[in-house]
Structure 1
């Protein structure tokens, strides 16, 4: 089911000004398409997260109630109903009550589908929320080096190697060269040598 037109208009109004025209064209060409669902879902997720964190805060509810022109009691009921809402049944009322006052703006990188959401600091603390939705292709088929296989089979070389150390050795790439079992043994010793690593910086 497509989103209510009023919901779409609010989502578009909150979009960064220099992208509004482009995003509107996409929304109208593909009503409730992938992009519109993605953005609306992320806005809902962020606002719900804030609402859950503030659920027991009377002061917060009263602030949002004032912004939404509701009473505290009405806001309390509306909040519980809103937390049960999903992207398919979000209403204009939900938007006016929660999305409008809590969301300052949002932006999207159409190349990566990275979404940035800026919250209204008067009613939602915290930094802008960023979400990345980069589709990654299937990873190249893993090829285990023969030298690594021999190293792992030789208990005198690899007998005390931990799972994490073996995983590190598996990820090494050599651009066509073929390392020997002895190479992996020396790499393991090098990995364990504290002289090869600087201590972590104090924050």
Structure 2
């Protein structure tokens, strides 16, 4: 059995008190705001291509396999090669072909981002806006989702609606180290239960998470 390299959830070589800022081929990617810009102009990039770009930046110059992309971008949920290809095509459409940047398809294996990449940590005090949570506010790092109401008093489980598709989803937020640890335990337990009891999938499905 071959051992797969898993993309890091966070960069352990630097302090975790801030968020990463990436610079490459004239682009700037702000992880904390999920924002990509070039020459001061913010570019529109859908969530999945954005997540794919972050993964490719973390492994710039290396092959990122399709399995690694599925794990990082789709949370390990089964997707077809066509879905991955469409995601990368949308990313290429936004990036274009500027000097010093190549997004290479390694046929049959995955993708590689060839570019000189610089990264820096932005301290939390330097982030643009304080976090605001409440009905009518946009969900942090998911700007198309609008919070509607808290689902249970005394918790940070919220019902949110997508401003375009009008879909509704539940989001659980963590604001303290203790809440984050509890959330990580829930994710681990959910993975274990779904592996052990696949027939229970109809009860609840975790679509995505972000622990940074």
Q: Which TM-score band applies after superposition, normalised by the shorter structure?
A: under 0.3
Give the number of the structure with larger relative contact order, counting CA–CA contacts within 8 Å between residues 6 or more apart. 2
Looking at secondary structure, tell me which structure has more helix per residue: 1
With structure 1 as the length reference, what TM-score do the two structures score? 0.19
| Structure index of larger Rg | 1
Looking at secondary structure, tell me which structure has more strand per residue: 2
With structure 2 as the length reference, what TM-score do the two structures score? 0.19
